[in-house]
Structure 1
Amino acid sequence: MSRMLRASAIMAAGTMVSRVTGFVRTMVLAYAIGTALLGDAYNAAYAIPYGILDLLLLGVLSSVIVPMIIRAQQHDEDGGRAYEQRLLTIATIALGLVAVIAVLAAPLLIDLYTSWAPGSRQFEVGVMLARFILPQLAFFGIGAVAGAILNTRDRYGAPMWAPVLNNVVVIVVFVLYAVVGSGNDIAQVTTGDLALLGLGTTAGIVAQAAVLIVALRRVGFVFMPRFDLRNARLGEMGKAGIWTIGYAVVTQAGFMLTTNLASSAGDAVRGHGISPYTLAFQLFQLPYGVIGVSVITAMLPRMSRAVSDGRFGDVRAEFASSVRLVCSLMVPVSLLLMVLGPAVTVPIYGHGANSVADAVYIGNVLQVYGLALVPFAVFQLLLRVFYSFGDTRTPVFVGAGTTAVNALLMLLFYAMLPPRYAVMGLALAYAIAFGLGAVLAWWLAGRRVQGLDGWAIGMALTRMYLAALPTAVLALAAVWVFTAVFGGLDFLNSVIVLAVGGGLGLLLYLGVAHRMRIPEVNSLVGMVARRVGR
């Protein structure tokens, strides 16, 4: 537990700074271009490269490449150095070609991800932004492979801190646009405005990749292109990776349905489309990104080694420890999101081109997403159990089932709800689908390792929810007072509600959990106390 805490703390610190600067980034974005037509066009174009990367690389990194690098380090005479160089060579060439093809196919991609009519102003702006943003594919992919190599060397700092530079670059770009650009009127933006927004976004990814390449050199890795692909184990990678790509295809199909439904809702009610969905989803991902990703990144190499040595007991112990550690903070945060959603979003997004009402709607979507936080985190942890075995096929079927349920529920809620509530319905469908997906994944993973200590983990989660109830009550009381007595949530009231309901609420949770002797919380409190004592 202590080793995981130390590794996770390093990553969580970097991820926290990254996410905080990401807050500032999205705040400046909303201030500069808003969440209506121009904001929707930007967010649609921005989502496309991440969808392509999911298909081609990011899922394969966690499920296939990391375990294969570890095996090469353990069994190759050179400690896997040549194998790593071949991987980086392949990624550089392949993703460079993909970036060129994607730029040429930008109109088709925008058509796939949105409901906008080809030839409309919003469609044309989305296509132009996509052409400026899609070149980042090559640099993002190179940085991702470099980060995977660093992780297998137990170097977690640079991959977690590099996105900070990305955010800083993009923040400067949007501040510059707010000063010299043409505002948020999509009819008035020029090609120069769109180039500033799109190329500035790409420049952030270039800076992020550069940091990771420098970090590789500092651990003694010198990149030398290798084209002897016979030794790249592409056949083995393909057999395992094809299922991971299949999983990404399924999830991206679901995401394309989401963006199409959200863009259609935005056409019906301006400001209730892709941008509120995207901004709420980014906030929802923050706790998982800070806590869950840090733990997952540290746990996967260790679980892969345990599986390689046949130590299934260690796999169960690693998983149980990871779930308890992640949920010890996810549980109170999920309840706080469900209560304090608008209080979170008004200070961030209620400025400039965005009104307070726009920010409140983003907060309403965030409240619904709070339901999904714990199931989503547990689902992601469960997938790593399969990946540690080199099994990339089972997650495809689990993901396909989850996505199918999500798609059916999205269509159902979209048909039932008025357009102004449609995006909230999409978030609710997401929460229900991942809850059911986590149940299925748990059953299958438990069969693989002869049980996952479900009873013990369930009891631990129950105690965490009981410890978090006073926090939720305090947050509800703060919202009620400032809504009923002071007439609503403006900037100042929202900050006060966050300080009372969020800040004091989390301290209350830590105190109650400490008194209830929840070991994960005690470990976190003890680690912080020791660091403060220094």
Structure 2
Amino acid sequence: MGDGLYRSANAMPQGSAPPPDGATLISIESLDQPMVETTAPAPEPPGEGNAASNSAVMAIGSLVSRGTGFLRTVVLGAALGTFAVGNAYTTAQIFPGMVYEFLLGGILTSVLIPVLVRRRKADPDQGQAYAQRLLTLAVLGLAVAAVIAVIAAPVLTALYGSEETSDDFQKLVTLLSYLMLPMIFFTGLSALISAVLNVRGHFAAPMWTPILNNLVVIATFGAYIAIFGAKVIPANEMTPGRITLLGGGTLLGVVIQAAGLLPALRKVGFRWRWRFDFRALGLRELGRLGAWMFCYVAVSQIGLAVLFNLLNRAGHEDDAGPLIYNNVFLLVMMAHGIVAVSILTALMPRMSAAAAEGRYADVVADLSRGTRVVTAVLAPIAVCYAVLASPIAVVLFRYGAFSAESATATSVVLLVGALALIPFAVSQLFTFAFYALPDTKTPALINIPVVGIRVVVQIGLFAAFSTSFTAAGLMLGNAVSYLAAVVITAQLLRRRIGRFGLGEIMATVGKVIVAALGAALVGWLVLQLLPGGSTPNRVEALIHLIVGGGLIGLTYLGLALLLRIREISEVVQLVRRKIGR
């Protein structure tokens, strides 16, 4: 699901697949140095752009996609508010992504893309017949899954909702689900077509078509506000017209996203043809490769069901529920996506190549460096999220039906969410190191105790505190589980690849903590001096963000340079070189 609550945290980046023979291999002495080709590049097939242009297209597309996705979230809150209707929409919206992820999400990126790459290289027709068989099987499977899911919508509502919610709320979730669950088919189709395009060197359409989806949904909420107004209403006042507009508009966005990919298929020379000789797919091999990833996803769904059940219990009491939690989760994932995913994208091909050649010392070096860079760069963002939680919530979300009380509730969840940012990013880096080995079994097994810890902590906090703390408590449970994942994964990685510079990592982390605490103190003191206090209006909140964020950033940078945090110094040098050019 684009920019939604639940996104695959287990998928391997495309760069993790081994490059075809003769392809350009990249050697990077450090993450901030230019990439140098170590072997002669193979000629590029017609129509397949070079790496630099592909990277530029992906970077621009990712930025625009994240921007429109965030605007989509803001308009959603403004149109529906954070109570019954907004929470019902958010709950119904999660169902298609949950079912798709369960069926295909992690398996697509960790199994099917590498297989498509190999068949593209080995088959006389460059893998076209194999891709046609795969698409035929997937289209049939997705269609059946979508039909079954629509029929089972009341069951999904009961599983992810709560017995404590009203009958009107559950009915609204079910009605919205009837319209949204067909998204399973079009989401899966989009993902498969994108995989076929990426394997053939076409990256533009898969990166830009999600923007069409976002724009359609933004227009849908804009139409809702224009027709029905931006105000909070109870679930029983949702008329068929309101429900059809929201659910139908959301479905239309995914349909247009899938349709937008079809011209690109013709451009790369791929022709659709039904092929039913599925034995030629090697289903046994695909099943064997995907079994552990399926286990990973299945365990995650248990945690997701508990999460939504507890959130809807809190939302029933008019406290922070699914929509507010979703907004904060999006902010945390945006920071992770901009910083940590970029580093993962640079490291994965190197670690994969080094692991394949048995150069575990190089894997260790990349892993240690990546951990230090991720921690050092994300720390000031986490500080801003924590210290400036209130003005961030007001400036970003307080529009229309999103009330001042909802902004306050959002700030509490964001403050706790700041604690989860770095542990999540580091846990993902360690998990992807296993994928580079390659090993999908160990991450799947690790995920079992990690999700168990998360569920126990979340249920315990829900039982111990009032419902007003539920969303924040769930985010705290996330942070604890991510930290547990780091510890468990680090121990198992050490057995596989040896020591990976824990002493150097902890030395950097210690300096980062000092710099972060200093920046947080300066930011807090500045907020006490600025007008508006803890409940600023929109203008005051904007001033808080500009002044407070600027001083937090400058303080962290100054302390980092004073403490000689090498990773920050290298980032500064990189920026200076870019500006000098």
Shared fold by TM > 0.5? Answer: yes
Residue of structure 2 in register with 1:407 after alignment: 455
- Tell me if 1:275 matches 2:292: no
Match of 2:99 in 1: 52
| Shift in Å, 1:176 | 0.5
Amino acid at match of 1:414: F
Q: How large is the Cα RMSD of the aligned pairs?
A: 2.9
Q: 1:132 aligns with which of 179, 201, 210?
A: 179
Work out the CA distance in 1 between the residues paired with 2:113 and 2:333.
23
2:308 is the counterpart of 1:262: no
Residue type of the alignment partner of 1:180? I
2:210 to 152, 157, 163: 163
Match of 1:375 among 413, 419, 423: 423
CA contact (8 A) 1:63 1:388 kept: no
- Range 467-476 or range 506-515, more displaced: 506-515
* Matching residue of 1:252: 301
The range that moved more, 434-443 or 68-77, is 68-77
Q: Tell me which residue corresponds to 1:38.
A: 85
1:184 aligns with 2:232: yes
**1:490-509 mapped onto 2 (5 Å cutoff):** 490-509=537-556
Of 435, 438, 451, the match for 1:387: 435
User: Map of 1:177-326 to 2, 5 A cutoff?
Assistant: 177-181=224-228, 183-185=231-233, 186-267=235-316, 269-297=317-345, 299-326=347-374
Please tell me whether residue 93 in structure 1 is matched to residue 132 in structure 2: no
Of 151, 155, 160, the residue aligned with 1:113 is: 160
Q: Is the 8 A contact 2:390 2:535 kept in 1?
A: no
Show CA shifts across 1:454-501 (max 9, x none). Answer: 333333444444444443233222332236x65632211211111122
1:532 Cα deviation (Å)?
5.0
Q: CA deviation at 1:100?
A: 1.6
TM-aligned CA distance change 1:11 to 1:339, over 3 Å? farther
User: Which stretch shifts more, 465-474 or 514-523?
Assistant: 514-523
User: 1:267-298 CA deviation, whole Å, 9 max, x = no partner?
Assistant: 2x214222222222122211112233344355
AA paired with 2:78? Y
CA distance in 1, matches of 2:341, 2:82: 28
Following superposition, the deviation at residue 404 of structure 1 comes to: 0.5
1:202, CA displacement in angstroms?
A: 1.6
2:402 is aligned with 1:359: no
Report how far residue 118 of structure 1 moved. 8.8
Higher gyration radius (CA): 2
In the alignment, is residue 329 of structure 1 matched against residue 377 of structure 2?
A: yes
Match of 2:483 in 1: 435
**More displaced 10-residue stretch of structure 1: 363-372 or 308-317:** 308-317
Contact residue 86 and residue 229 of structure 1 kept, 8 A: yes
**What's the offset of the Cα at 1:12?**
4.8
Q: Secondary structure at the match of 2:388?
A: helix
Q: Equivalent residue of 1:187, what SS? A: helix
Contact 2:66 2:334 in 1 (8 A): yes
Structure 1 pair 252/75, CA: closer, same or farther in 2 (3 Å)?
Answer: same
- 2-structure distance, mates of 1:430, 1:118: 24
Q: Write the distance in 2 (CA, Å) between the matches of 1:460 and 1:81.
A: 49
Matched, 1:18 2:65: yes
1:95 CA drift (Å): 1.5
Q: Say if 2:180 and 2:251, in contact at 8 Å, map to a contact too.
A: yes
Identity %: 37
- Residues 388 and 84 (structure 1 numbering): CA distance in 2 closer, same or farther, change over 3 Å? farther
Note the C-alpha offset of 1:227.
3.1
Q: Is the 8 A contact 1:116 1:123 kept in 2?
A: no
Q: 1:78 to 1:291 in 2, by over 3 A?
A: farther
Q: Distance in 2 between matches of 1:67 and 1:424?
A: 39
Distance 1:346 1:204, change over 3 A: same
- Seen in structure 2, the aligned counterparts of structure 1 residues 115 and 497 have a Cα distance that, compared at 3 Å, is same
Residue number in structure 1 paired with 2:444: 396
Answering whether residue 493 of structure 2 is matched by residue 445 of structure 1, we say yes
Q: Deviations over 1:330-357 (max 9, x none)?
A: 2221222122222211122222112112
**TM-aligned CA deviation for residue 123 of structure 1:** 0.8
Kindly indicate whether the alpha-carbon contact (under 8 Å) linking 1:379 and 1:437 is maintained by their aligned counterparts in 2.
Answer: yes
C-alpha change, 1:125 and 1:248, in structure 2 (3 Å) is same
Deviation for aligned residue 1:528: 4.7
Give, in angstroms, the shift of residue 307 of structure 1.
3.8
In the superposition, the TM-score normalised over structure 1's length comes to 0.90
- Residue 412 of structure 1 aligns to which amino acid in structure 2? G
Q: Quick check: 60-69 or 422-431, which moved more?
A: 60-69
Could you say what secondary structure the match of 1:35 adopts?
coil
Counterparts of 2:260 and 2:152, CA distance in 1 = 30
Q: Larger % of helix: which?
A: 1
**What TM-score, normalized by structure 2, do the two folds share?**
0.83
Q: 1:286 to 1:490 in 2, by over 3 A?
A: same
Deviation at 1:435, TM superposition (A): 0.5
- Equivalent pair of 1:375/1:435 in contact (CA under 8 Å): yes
**Partner in structure 1 of residue 151 of structure 2:** 104
Tell me: CA distance 1:192–1:293, structure 2 relative to 1, closer, same or farther (3 Å): farther
1:27 aligns with 2:27: no
Contact 1:409-1:429 within 8 A present in 2 as well: yes
Aligned residue for 2:237, secondary structure, equals coil
Kindly tell me: are residues 241 and 500 of structure 1, through their superposed partners in 2, closer, same or farther at Cα, counting changes over 3 Å?
A: same
How many angstroms apart in 2 are the aligned matches of 1:213 and 1:522? 46
Aligned length: 532
Change over 3 Å in CA distance of 1:316–1:210 after alignment to 2: farther
Displacement, 1:43?
0.5
Instruction: State the SS of the aligned residue for 1:162.
Output: helix
